[in-house]
Structure 1
Amino acid sequence: MTTRPATRPARERLLTAAGELFYESGIAATGVDAVLQRAGVSPATMYAHFAGKDGLVAAYLEERHQLWRATWDDVLAELDDQVDRLLSLFDAVNRYRQREGNRRGCAFLAAATELPADHPAQPWLQADSLLLTARLRELAVAAGVDDPDEAAATLLLCYDGALARSAREWTTPDLAAGDPVRRARDLAAAWLAARGHVPGT
């Protein structure tokens, strides 16, 4: 992999390179040297911006969380129907993929399996979980679902399952049978319809 031309600030190049490599290969399997080479910066430059690899991992997840939240915000801003808004989680995933080109599953789920409990990136894993559970519950209340906690938990289960399936299909393409995120949305919509909540009505 060739290094990136120094046309952008070093911190931005480091985050871009780290994001690509951590997502493609995993956090533990990605060494600092690989990030430096791809970003085209020196070790001294990296340490001027981040407190080592752990700090870079935390910044990577922070940036990803902010991009994901903004994408979901954009999708919600386009919707009026409350049930469609509750299902917007899945539409936001597809929008995020279109913008970022990521189809290997959830970076936060992957990071959660790699990072120890005291890692400085843990607050961003927690922020991702809190955003999902709190927002889904809020949207379920607005949609008039009888048990908002159950609805949030069910949709989150569909979401996690879809992203885990995406990761599996990435490594074993012959298992692919349609888009897991679309199928998860359909399942969530059917679950809501069985309780009298139909999108667009």
Structure 2
Amino acid sequence: MDQDTAEAMARPSARDRLLDAADELFSRDGIARTSVDQVLHHAHVAPGTLYAHFGGKDGLIAAALHRRLDRWEQVWQEAVDAAATPAEKLLALFDAVSAYRDRYTPGRGCAFLATSIELPDLDHPARAVIEAEFTLLLTRLNQLAETVTTEDPAALAGNVLLVYDGAMAGLQRGRTPDPLGHGKALARCLIQNAIETE
């Protein structure tokens, strides 16, 4: 195998390059400020490739967000699996954000929250992915909270979710020092309080 063939085989597919470019540019600059031409230039692909794979910018947004959701779900599950106690498994949400940012993108805030703000149209294809991410958060947090307390685990899960949303907003703003650390500490207090009131 010659060097050109080896380099071509090691290079991500055009579809993956488009998703990588979209993820990076949407996260850094926002969806509205990122043009299709910028994504194409960043991914080094022709316009026809984007339209063949995604049908247009809206399809690309949804696909990039869906890939992010798949990755996020995996990273979060890894953090849960690595935690030793039920309380730590519930707190793993905050560790997972740091792990995700280290592994994939150091972008500010939450792509799902940012996208929901930028795309208020409920018929946009990305809205289904945003709803799937919220369902994942709520379902998993409820399941984990049930292993921590029998005294209203849904309330505990809801409170942890609210703290998480605040931490993600702090990341988005970019001015709050260590919002994930503070969020995790506050969530730990909520968990401890739930355990003590049983």
Q: Structure 2 length normalisation: TM-score?
A: 0.90
* 1:50-199 pair list within 5 angstroms: 50-115=54-119, 116-169=121-174, 175-176=175-176, 178-196=177-195
AA in 2 matched with 1:192: I
Distance 2:167 2:65 in 1: 20
**As a proportion of its length, which structure holds more helix?**
2
Match of 1:23 among 24, 27, 31: 27
Assess if the C-alpha contact under 8 Å between 1:145 and 1:151 holds in 2. no
* Count of residue pairs brought into register by the alignment: 187
Query: Does the 8 Å CA contact 1:54/1:120 hold for their aligned counterparts?
Result: yes
Percentage of matched positions with identical amino acids? 44
Residue 77 of structure 1 and its aligned partner are, at CA, apart by 1.4
Task: Work out the CA distance in 2 between the residues paired with 1:103 and 1:20.
Answer: 8
Which residue in the other structure is 1:172 paired with? none
**Which stretches of structure 1, 4 residues or more, deviate above 3 A after TM superposition?**
none
Letter in 2 for 1:181: L
Q: Deviations over 1:65-110 (max 9, x none)?
A: 0010000111111123111111111111111111123241000000
Letter in 2 for 1:186: A
**Does the CA contact (< 8 Å) of 2:61 and 2:126 recur in 1?**
yes
Distance 1:195 1:8, change over 3 A: closer
Provide the C-alpha distance between the structure 2 equivalents of 1:105 and 1:45, rounded to a whole number of angstroms: 30
User: Counterpart of 1:136 in structure 2: which amino acid?
Assistant: L
In 1, the alpha carbon distance for the partners of 2:107 and 2:148 equals 29
Distance, in Å, in 2 between the alignment partners of 1:195 and 1:47 is 51
Contact conserved, 2:109 with 2:169, CA < 8 A, in 1?
A: yes
Q: Counterpart of 1:189 in structure 2: which amino acid?
A: R
Give TM-score scaled by structure 1 length: 0.89
Q: Which runs of 5 or more structure 1 residues have no equivalent in the other structure?
A: 170-174
Structure 2 alignment gaps of length 5 or more: 1-6
Amino acid at match of 1:182: G
1:13 aligned residue: 17
Amino acid at match of 1:121: A
Do the aligned partners of 1:36 and 1:43 also contact (CA within 8 Å) in 2? yes
- Distance in 2 separating the partners of 1:93 and 1:25: 20
RMSD between superposed Cα atoms in Å? 1.5
Native 8 Å contact 1:90 1:159 kept in 2: yes
Measure, in 2, the Cα distance between the counterparts of 1:60 and 1:195. 37
